Structure 1
Amino acid sequence: MAPAQASAQAPALLVIAHGSRDPRHAETVHALTRHVRSLRPGLRVETAFLDFDGPSVGQALASLYLSGVRDVVALPLLLTRAFHAKSDVPAVLAESSDRLPGLSVRVADVLGPSPLLLETLERRLTEAGLTPADRSTTAVVLASAGSTDPEAIAAIAETAREWRRTGWCAVRPAFASAALPRTEDAVRALRAEGFARVAVAPYVIAPGRLPDRIAAGAEAAGADVLAGVLGAAPELARLLLLRYDGAAAAAPARLRTLTA
């Protein structure tokens, strides 16, 4: 079923990305939000960044407020509930909301887990040259950015298990930082287990330093296939609207700044 068209009273959508010194990151995020706008004409969609790029979350909320918006759904462009989702995003939203009287901000769930993310991964592997016939003879490394948060690590492992059930002969998680194994180690381990074809699927949204590290690891270990990042895929744009709709339908909650 097609999503309902946004009404004049629909909350604005503020997509909050991490940000990067790499300009490809912001370019990809903006391409994704343009796709979201195309899927939901009439919905106001803005973008903010936690670091490096602009506007900041505070600047974006202030701009919305000055234009008359009083109801916002903030959507963290994050795949797991790690530190940024648990601490950074709530803190910056609470701080900004305190300065803007009458502004209601609802926080959407992070993107993962979702079947739409698996569909996006499948799309990128197909674009990299794999066919449905290759599924039963290809082992896949699900390579994420990495985190020190056990909940995030467990979520990546569970995503790998769920994806394996779709027919790939193996799916193993790997991490570009903060956790093990690294991408190159996971590729080599699969080779040692006898898998003749190994593909690396970056489980990251936009290009940057850590995705480049994933690509370098895949090349160093001799992976047969390297997929692109999730990027501005149509499945990902649909997922953003799914998370937006869930938050927009919920009652607003008081945002509180988290303390240690």
Structure 2
Amino acid sequence: MHRPVLLVIAHGSRDPRHAATVHALTRRVRALRPGLRVETAYLDFNAPTVPQVLSSLHYSGVREVIALPLLLTRAFHAKSDIPAVLAESAARLPGLSVRVTEVLGPSPLLLSALERRLAEAGLDLSYSARSTTGVVLASAGSTDPEAIAVIAEIAREWRHTGWCAVRPAFASAALPRVEDAVRALHAEGVRQVAVAPYVIAPGRLPDRIAAGAEAAGADLLAPVLGPAPELARLLLRRYDETRTAGTATVRSGPRAAALTA
């Protein structure tokens, strides 16, 4: 049976750990779904770019692509950058159908991945330990109010799984900063404070999260989500949702391309 190509679109970074992590994640996706063609492209800093990959696919005979933004929230890149680059490419490649998935978050699979990383860092996830542990849900940050609200809602939902407290914090663009959230939990008498980075790959902002956690005396810092198996399954879930129902289609042709819901 014909299956559209999965194109994972990552932001890109000057930090080589970023691309290495993205490729480790896509390798895990391929292992979970043998036979599915998975390609990777970047918006900035890394190669190949989105137009380069789409052109290569088109001229090799591919006619259907499902593009997946490797993003945890719907902010500027999901609302503007990715639709624009896909539409521009589709306008130049008649006959190529590109559908776009929803962003990855929120999802229970992401909470499972966060808890996996906390456990790997040495945190006891038993209910008794949760009741005395506060968690800082540390996001990269955004100027988009919708994205900030989503992070706050994830923190509220996660709190209901038994943690003493879960506080959202941000590395940039929004408040509170990670160090301020850690200090606030300590000031409230929380026995143990852990920082869980809600980011996919290493880079400048995750490093800022780590620095804030250290500066404020957090008891534990989890690694980034990286190629967590839950994250790989989530990529395939978004692919399958879009393949069966469709989310947004970039229509190509002689006229300017348009995104339609």
Please say whether Structure 1 and Structure 2 have the same fold, judged by a TM-score greater than 0.5. yes
Per-residue Cα deviation, 1:28-82 (whole angstroms, up to 9, x for no partner) = 0000000000000010000000000010000011111122111000000000000
1:191 corresponds, among 179, 186, 198, to: 186
Where does residue 149 of structure 1 map in the other structure? Answer: 144
Q: CA deviation at 1:257?
A: 5.8
1:81-117 Cα shifts (integer Å, max 9, x gaps): 0000000000000000111110000000000000000
Contact 1:174-1:180 within 8 A present in 2 as well = yes
Preserved contact between residue 73 and residue 108 of structure 1 (Cα < 8 Å):
yes
Aligned counterpart, 1:136: 131
Correspondence for 2:226 among 231, 241, 253: 231
Give the 3-state SS of the residue equivalent to 1:157 in structure 2. helix
Contact 2:86 2:250 in 1 (8 A): no
Structure 1 partner of 2:43: 50
Give the whole-Å Cα distance in 1 for the aligned partners of 2:222 and 2:206: 11
Quick check: 1:96 aligned with 2:96?
Answer: no
Q: Letter of the aligned partner of 1:35 in structure 2? A: R
Alignment of 1:1-260 (within 5 A): 7=1, 9-133=2-126, 134-251=129-246, 253-255=249-251, 256=257
Q: CA deviation at 1:253?
A: 2.7
Checking the alignment, whether the CA contact within 8 Å between 1:91 and 1:257 is kept in structure 2 is no
Equivalent AA in structure 2 for residue 16 of structure 1:
I
Deviates more, 1:132-141 or 1:214-223: 132-141
- In the TM superposition, what whole-angstrom CA distance separates every residue of 1:206-243 from its partner, at most 9, and x where no partner exists? 00000000000000000000000000000000000000
Structure 1 length as normaliser, TM-score?
0.94
**CA distance in structure 2 between the aligned counterparts of 1:185 and 1:128, rounded to whole angstroms:** 22
Maintained 8 Å contact 1:20/1:52: yes
- Residue identity opposite 1:10 in structure 2: R
- Cα RMSD of the aligned pairs, angstroms, is 1.1
Match of 1:4 in 2: none
CA distance in 1, matches of 2:163, 2:62: 46
Say how many residue pairs are matched.
251
Q: Secondary structure at the match of 1:230?
A: coil
* TM-score normalized by the length of structure 2: 0.94
Distance 1:257 1:172 in 2: 39
Per-residue deviation at 1:196? Answer: 1.5
3-state SS of the aligned residue for 2:13?
Answer: coil
What residue number does 2:254 align with?
none
Give the AA of the match of 1:19: G
- Separation (CA, whole Å) in 2 of partners of 1:13 and 1:253: 14
Answer with 199-208 or 133-142: which moved more. 133-142
Cα distance in 2 for partners of 1:146, 1:132 equals 26
Identity of aligned residues (%): 78
Structure 1 distance, partners of 2:115, 2:121, is 10
